């Protein structure tokens, strides 16, 4: 069976590392390496891992380069045939790796596998069983907040995995690249899924690859950082990956959602980072369009096939009201 490289990023997340690494040590699938990328932590994370978990390979960075680029640095030293990305605030079940490997090895056309992510504190609640783009232009975690009642227990096709617990085939990454470091954090997994799907790779779920996840442990919910990153990177994904016909067809809905997101940011006292996000998208148009041309060269799907991958999202008003109530 193939060797797996697990890449874990940490940034001042020492408190999460013991349950995360202890769970990996208990895996039934043994042919794997663990790479921990310390993203400029100041809480002693690297020393702790060096002393307590000598089997973990440390990549120490002098500063926080973000989730996307941090994983890229981990990939640079990884030796596995498949790459597993795993958040530091997780605890995986013993069959986690075995189930991911079984899923990807079932078909050479499968480039991505999504685990079942459950809430760490409310273990009967789903965090994600994959990601998908909506006709409103945003990405959503499938199943987020739902009670886990077996509705996602049958392996199925999915747009892509949440990078908090995902497997990527190295052959796919060699063709399309890994995360776009310019994203820094958030939406980088949706962008990667878009590039993989446009190039003809499939993605599936592995519902018995279970992981418990502390949601938003690093970025914080509705923090200025999160607002900026999410609202900027949503447009990065749109401008890099969406075919012109789909952009034009769904532009009214995309703009309606964007207006609702701006209104929510204003109400929550986060208008400045939300406005800055959009100004920076305009500033970054030249490199985004260059990347768009590179992605188009690898595209194997026609517009109709791509349109079939989109899910119709909830109305902007509905999402606005939900976020007003939860702050998520």
Pairwise CA distance, residues 223 & 243, whole Å: 32
Both tokens of 229, joined, read 């990153």
pLDDT for 2: 82
Pairwise CA distance, residues 136 & 102, whole Å: 34
Q: Strand pairing partners for 58?
A: 36
Both tokens of 37, joined, read 């990328």
pLDDT for 328: 38
- In CATH, the architecture of 4-213 is Alpha-Beta Complex (3.90)
Pairwise CA distance, residues 18 & 94, whole Å: 15
Any idea of the CA torsion for 210, 216, 217, 219, to the nearest 10 degrees? 140
- Find how far residue 310's CA is from the centre of its chain: 17
Sort 150 into a burial class: Cβ within 10 Å, 0-12 / 13-18 / 19+: exposed
Q: Which residues 6+ apart lie within 8 Å of 84 measured at CB?
A: 4, 5, 6, 7, 32, 97, 100, 165, 166, 167, 168
Pairwise CA distance, residues 11 & 36, whole Å: 11
Cβ–Cβ < 8 Å for 124, 147: yes
Q: What is the DSSP secondary-structure string of 214-230?
A: -TTTTT-TT-HHHHHHH
Entry pTM: 0.94
Q: What is the pLDDT along the chain (328 residues), one digit of tens a residue?
A: 689 999 999 999 999 999 999 999 999 999 999 999 999 999 999 999 999 999 999 999 999 999 999 999 999 999 999 999 999 999 999 999 999 999 999 999 999 999 999 999 999 999 999 999 999 999 999 999 999 999 999 999 999 999 999 999 999 999 999 999 999 999 999 999 999 999 999 999 999 999 999 965 455 567 999 999 999 999 999 999 999 999 999 999 999 999 999 999 999 999 999 999 999 999 999 999 999 999 999 999 999 999 998 877 655 555 555 554 444 3
Half-sphere exposure of residue 50: CA atoms within 13 angstroms, side-chain side: 9
Cβ–Cβ < 8 Å for 119, 126: yes
Angle of helix 271-283 versus helix 285-298 axis, rounded to 10 = 60
Cβ–Cβ < 8 Å for 107, 202: yes
Pairwise CA distance, residues 230 & 237, whole Å: 11
Domain range summary for the chain, segments of one domain joined by +: 4-213, 224-326
């Amino acid at each position: 069976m193939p060797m797996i490289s697990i890449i874990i990023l940490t940034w001042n997340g020492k408190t999460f590392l013991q349950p995360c690494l202890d769970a990996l040590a208990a895996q039934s699938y043994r042919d794997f390496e663990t790479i921990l990328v310390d993203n400029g932590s100041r809480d002693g994370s690297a020393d702790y891992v060096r002393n307590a978990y000598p089997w973990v390979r440390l990549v120490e960075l002098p500063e926080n380069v973000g989730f996307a680029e941090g994983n890229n640095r981990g990939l640079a030293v990884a030796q596995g045939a498949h790459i597993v990305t795993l958040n530091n605030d997780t605890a995986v079940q013993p069959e986690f790796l075995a189930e991911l490997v079984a899923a990807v090895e079932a078909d050479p056309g499968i480039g991505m596998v999504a685990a079942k992510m459950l809430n760490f504190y409310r273990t009967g609640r789903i965090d994600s069983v994959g990601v998908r783009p909506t006709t409103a232009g945003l990405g959503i975690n499938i199943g987020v907040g739902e009670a886990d009642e077996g509705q996602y227990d049958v392996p199925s096709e999915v747009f892509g995995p949440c990078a908090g617990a995902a497997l990527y085939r190295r052959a796919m990454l060699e063709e399309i690249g890994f995360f776009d470091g310019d994203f820094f954090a958030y939406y980088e997994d949706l962008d990667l899924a878009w590039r993989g799907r446009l190039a003809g790779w499939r993605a599936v779920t592995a519902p018995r690859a279970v992981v418990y996840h502390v949601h938003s442990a690093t970025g914080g919910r509705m923090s200025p950082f999160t607002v900026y990153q999410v609202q900027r990177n949503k447009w990065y994904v749109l401008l890099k990956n969406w075919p012109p016909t789909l952009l034009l067809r769904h532009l009214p809905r995309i703009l309606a959602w964007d207006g609702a997101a701006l209104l929510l940011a204003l109400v929550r006292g986060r208008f400045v980072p939300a406005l800055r996000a959009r100004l920076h998208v305009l500033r970054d148009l030249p490199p985004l369009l260059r990347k768009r041309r590179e992605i188009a060269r690898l595209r194997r799907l026609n517009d109709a096939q791509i349109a079939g991958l989109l899910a119709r999202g909830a109305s902007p008003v509905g999402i606005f009201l939900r976020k007003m109530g939860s702050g998520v």
